[in-house]
Amino acid sequence: MDFVTCTLVLLLTCASVHALSLLLSRIIAKPNYNLPPGPSPIPIIGNLLELGEKPHKSLAKLAKIHGPLMSLKLGQITTIVISSATMAKEVLQTNDQFLSNRNVPQSVSVLNHDHYSLAFLPISPLWKELRKICNTQLFSHKSLDSSQDVRCKKMQQFLNDIHQSSQIGEAIDIGTSVFKTTINFLSNTIFSMDLISSNGAAGEFKDLVTDITKLAGTPNVADFFPLLKMLDPQGIKRRQTKNVRKILDIFEDLINQRLKIREGTGVYNNKDMLDAMLNISKENEFMDKNIIQRLSHDLFVAGTDTTTSTLEWAMTELIRNPEIMKKAKKELEQIIGRGVPVEESNISKLPYLEATIKETLRLHPPVPFLLPRKAERDVEICGYSIPKDAQILVNVWTICRDPTLWENPSLFSPERFLGSEIEFKGRNFELVPFGGGRRICPGLQLANRMLMLMLGSLVNSFDWELVDGMKFEDINMDDKFGITLQKAQPLRIVPLKLK
């Protein structure tokens, strides 16, 4: 449902909310905030109608009028929109300490998930413990190195499937194939097993992850009018509760099976992330079965769509820019040999491929507003007030296309990163697709490894052709806004044996 439809639904259901909020605002006197400039809100719905179907683009346009620090009212939610690298630094670095809580959508609060979720807990002792474990154990270079062989094996299976398609001249839907492979990369890194069979039907697990992500990205009237939460007008809470219950049950079974094996053999090795979490649970009482289930949920939901959409855009840009494809192939041929799949140990030797991924994340940041932050208390930025509980959206999409920061910003040009010091690790605020500060994506290193592995191997192992004699100029580059910014039209391409 787009924002216009949402708004019509809520116009019908919200007259009572308006009356009630008027009453409340008279009872609770609010302090006089000097909010940043922004468009005037209209009664009840505020600025919701201005979002349209592509909020990242609509808010970029509004920021041109009102400035890089802008305030809006989305229904009842005071929202601050950040649209420049300088302002992003204010949020992600200077005032990170007080702007790092999360706004929790209703789709996330089902089964009290927000009480245990790494991605949605406020800054708290539990969140700090979880982050520490991610940084020092689950996603450390050492543990990612020790699980690289399983990802390499999965990559080989992925390439075998594509090889079969190349023999019969069959087109591949890159997004669907990469989505399955990414789930199996993650499931092998976490549980040492496939959660999707590589051939044929992807099965329930894929549908669950897809539906959870889709519902989390669907605009929900109840998020803009908290008083409607009880009514669940779009049925999002009901459907998400079922999905999350099912996925938690799957993880519980996997944990129980592993516990049985460990008890039986008495071996507590460090085979994968599940072993690491179970080992931690022996010393640290907070890491119980429930937390392991919740963390596994977050890793799959946060890691799958983001990685898939980046890979699909990267392949699209390479197919559309044959000169860049040629350069990427040439580097791979020189460094690892023609037709050889990339291994994680090769990654640091492939600067052009790395620049291609950076450029993809610049032009197509998968999480265009980061995960919405929430102010823990009143904060002042450039003389303006960010009130306690305000939602903060960092419009990475527009920052990454800012002509004052990027020459020829809409051009896809990996060359701009060659010899440049700009990284996406949260210190260069003109390129923050993984966020920054204490909430920066903990899966960044794993995402980078998976992307380099898949993109490098796809480019180096096959030549690629568009379907039905389509020309690369005709590729539809429209995006579709959701929890991730995906290609509106899936990329379908035919793999060809290398000549």
CB of 444 to ligand HEM, least distance (A): 7
CB of 190 to ligand HEM, least distance (A): 8
CB of 228 to ligand HEM, least distance (A): 26
CB of 186 to ligand HEM, least distance (A): 6
441 is in an annotated binding site: yes
Tokens of 476: 């539809």
| Closer to ligand HEM by Cβ: residue 352 or 434 | 434
Interacting residue ranges for ligand HEM, rule: CB under 6 A: 118-119, 131, 186, 298-299, 302-303, 306-307, 310, 366-367, 370-371, 433-436, 439-443, 446-447
| Closer to ligand HEM by Cβ: residue 189 or 234 | 189
| Closer to ligand HEM by Cβ: residue 172 or 432 | 432
3-state secondary structure the chain: CCHHHHHHHHHHHCHHHHHHHHHHHHHCCCCCCCCCCCCCCECCCECHHHCCCCHHHHHHHHHHHHCCEEEEEECCEEEEEECCHHHHHHHHHHCHHHCCEECCCCCCCHHHHHHCCCCCCCCCHHHHHHHHHHHHHHCCHHHHHHCHHHHHHHHHHHHHHHHHHHHCCCCEEHHHHHHHHHHHHHHHHHHCCCCCCCCCCCCHHHHHHHHHHHHHHCCCHHHHCHHHHHHCCCCHHHHHHHHHHHHHHHHHHHHHHHHHHHHHHCCCCCCCHHHHHHHHHHHCCCCCHHHHHHHHHHHHHHHHHHHHHHHHHHHHHHHHCHHHHHHHHHHHHHHHCCCCCCCHHHHHHCHHHHHHHHHHHHHCCCCCCCCCEECCCCEEECCEEECCCCEEEECHHHHCCCCCCCCCCCCCCHHHHCCCCCCCCCCCCCCCCCCCHHHCCCCHHHHHHHHHHHHHHHHHHCEEEEHHHCCHHHCCCCEECCCCCEECCCCEEEEECCC
| Nearest-angstrom CA–CA distance, 267 and 186 | 23
| Closer to ligand HEM by Cβ: residue 17 or 59 | 59
| Closer to ligand HEM by Cβ: residue 186 or 494 | 186
| Closer to ligand HEM by Cβ: residue 221 or 458 | 458
CB of 284 to ligand HEM, least distance (A): 18
CB of 131 to ligand HEM, least distance (A): 6
| Closer to ligand HEM by Cβ: residue 122 or 322 | 122
CB of 432 to ligand HEM, least distance (A): 7
| Closer to ligand HEM by Cβ: residue 327 or 373 | 373
CB of 111 to ligand HEM, least distance (A): 18
Query: Which amino acids are annotated as binding site, given as ranges?
Result: 441
Query: Which amino acids are annotated as binding site for heme, given as ranges?
Result: 441
